[in-house]
Amino acid sequence: MSEGNSSSALVGIIMGSKSDLSVMQDAADVLKEFGINYEITVVSAHRTPERMFNYAKEAQGRGLKVIIAGAGGAAHLPGMVASITTLPVIGVPVKSSNSIDGWDSILSILQMPNGIPVATVALNAAKNAGLLATQILATADESLTVKMQAYKDELRRKVEESADSLES
Ligand code: RP5
């Protein structure tokens, strides 16, 4: 599975299984909206450990700036990738069907040891992962900062509009 232009991708979206795609697609959609090149693929910490190691080891050299990693259950993918690369890693806990309300995914991504941070978003919150990756890239890209400000202005405008409609 691969979308976008992988050779010029700035963000790598990886997931433990293709069954995570319905959640992880939200991150891709945000990046598309902001015009950011990304790549998307399946990398399993448990089923394809060598593939995970190689992906994490080569990511920076291939030009990636941020990795978004989603997994469910014993969700070791984000943490293990973070242990191998110096790139920032954003973890998306995916609620897998047989899980204990997603707490397994949340805790196994969130509870990282000192020294190996993973920026963990809420359960199934791949959209926020895409936005956070955009904000990281925006620190070195003024045009992205402008787009992000416009995005936030629109969020504020919608809330104010709904407040106005209730008050009138
Ligand atoms: C994890 O196990 C995956 O990230 C997925 O969330 C979950 C179930 O995977 P499948 O059995 O559907 O491949 O590794």
First to last CA, the chain: 50
The three-point CA angle 68-73-77 to 5° equals 35
Residue 5, pLDDT score: 54
Separate counts of helices (H) and strands (E) for the chain: 6, 5
Confirm or deny that 17 is annotated as ligand binding. Answer: yes
Distance 96 CA to ligand 1 centre (A): 7
42 lines ligand 1 (CB under 6 A): no
Q: Which CATH architecture has domain 6-141?
A: 3-Layer(aba) Sandwich (3.40)
Tell me what the mean pLDDT of segment 26-33 comes to.
98
| DSSP letter, residue 91 | E
Nearest to 31 by CA among 142, 109, 148: 148
pLDDT score of 109: 98
Q: Whose CA is nearest to atom 6 of ligand 1?
A: 72
Is 129 a residue whose pLDDT tops 50?
yes
Residue ranges covered by each domain of the chain: 6-141
ipTM entry: 0.96
Which pLDDT belongs to residue 3? 52
Q: Which residue has the tokens 């060598």?
A: 50
Q: Considering the entire predicted model, what is its pTM?
A: 0.95
Can you give 50-62 as a three-state secondary structure string? HHHHHHHHHCCCC
CA distance 163 to 168: 9
